[in-house]
Amino acid sequence: MAEKISDIGEFGLIARIDAVIQREGVGSDQVTVGIGDDTASFTPRAGYEVLVTCDAMVENRHFLSGSISPFDLGRRAMVQNISDIGAMGGRPVYALVSLGLRGEIPVSEIEDLYRGFISELNPFDACIVGGNITGTTGPLFIDITLIGEVEQGRAMRRSGATAGDVILVTGYPGQSCAGLQLLLNASDRTSLQDHPLVKGYNTPSHRAQLGAAIGKTARATAMIDTSDGFLGDLGHICETSRVGAEVMDEKIPISDDLLDVAGELGKDPKEFFLGDSDDYELIITCRPENAQLFRSLAADHGVPITEVGRITPLPGIFLVRADGTRERLRSISWDHFR
């Protein structure tokens, strides 16, 4: 029988987690009080702003238990937060992990969950400095608070887009949602684990290194990640910037994989691109003369990037077809309560 959390208790579990962090994580000499205390403390770097974000994941709502490994679940939960810091042009530095767990969960799964967190933090020399563990009788939850830093005055906003700016997007938003649909429609989920779009759903990438590089140039007017879907997040930029946008139908980037899967599922691949999807790509707006700078930065990072449209002075986001016809697009972001 696998050792369960209830076999070793809360303090036993904390000791095991601490051992994984000490052995496999990186340390920081800026941390003055780390994991094990009720409160962590660190010395912020002079000349930097502190960024802070949090995102929770709930079992069977944000992830399908049984179709993702604990290691990948840890990665995915951390990527989601790293992406938010990266979209501000920042670098993650410290994480707090708050878990709601059931006693029957094997201890090794929690250790693997932390290995997943750590594998995403280590490339940034970022570390877990604290958190909280509680029992729950309901669905498991993972709530991460990620602290980042960005040079003073260099934090990217979603509110700076102006009419005439071009709209760039990295990668292929929509792939993750198509991967999820594949899983939901499958009779045998395990056979799908290696499908590129299922991997895109279970172990998405973030673009935080590119985000930080873009932030440093101070040439982007707005930036956001696509965690609410392309249309939802372009909508956030337009709303806070008080502008509108035109998206060119024929420029929408659709990967061959997405094209295939959309065909299999009998759906329009552009619906996946526009709609809600857990990809962590970046939307960037900038003056047209700076687009080439970002294209070459993205190439340096090995990240595909596509110019998909323009910011307009009047509100509303429109799809413009090759024949010049326009269709107003409405955001269909996921709502937890509707």
The C-alpha atoms of residue 294 and residue 168 are separated, in whole angstroms, by: 9
Closer CB to a second copy, 229 or 269, in the complex: 229
Shortest separation between residue 181's beta carbon and a second copy, angstroms? 20
d(CA 299, CA 312): 27
Question: Closest separation between CB of residue 50 and a second copy, Å?
Answer: 5
Task: Tell me which amino acid residue 134 is.
Answer: T
Tokens representing 262? Answer: 């959309």
Q: What is the dihedral of CA 8, 12, 14, 17, to 10 degrees?
A: -80
Which of 142, 247 has the CB closer to a second copy? 142
Q: What is the 3-state secondary structure (H, E, C) of 264-328?
A: HHCCCHHHHHHCCCCCCCEEEEECHHHHHHHHHHHHHCCCCEEEEEEEECCCCEEEECCCCCEEE
Compare residues 87 and 214 and give the one whose CB is closer to a second copy: 87
CB of 196 to a second copy, least distance (A): 27
For residues 197 and 182, give the distance between their C-alpha atoms in angstroms, rounded to a whole number: 8
Cα–Cα–Cα angle for 95, 100, 103, nearest 5°? Answer: 125
- CA separation for the pair 222, 242 (Å, rounded): 12
Q: How far is the CB of 303 from a second copy (least distance, A)?
A: 20
* Spatial separation of the C-alpha atoms in residues 40 and 269, rounded to whole Å: 46
Considering the complex, state which of residue 159 and residue 193 has its C-beta at the smaller distance from a second copy: 159
> Based on CB atoms, which residue is closest to a second copy, 12 or 196?
12
| Calpha distance 127→129 (Å, rounded) | 6
- Looking at the Cβ atoms of 193 and 333, the one nearer to a second copy is 333
Q: Smallest gap, in angstroms, from Cβ of residue 204 to a second copy?
A: 15
- The whole-angstrom separation of Cα 195 and Cα 258 is 11
Nearest to a second copy of 84, 281 (CB atom)? 84
Rounded to the nearest whole angstrom, what is the least distance from the CB of residue 57 to a second copy in the complex?
A: 8
**DSSP character string of 47-65:** TEEEEEEEEEEEBTTTB-T
Identify which of residues 39 and 190 has a Cβ nearer to a second copy in the complex.
Answer: 39
CA-CA distance, 312 to 319, in Å (whole number)?
A: 12
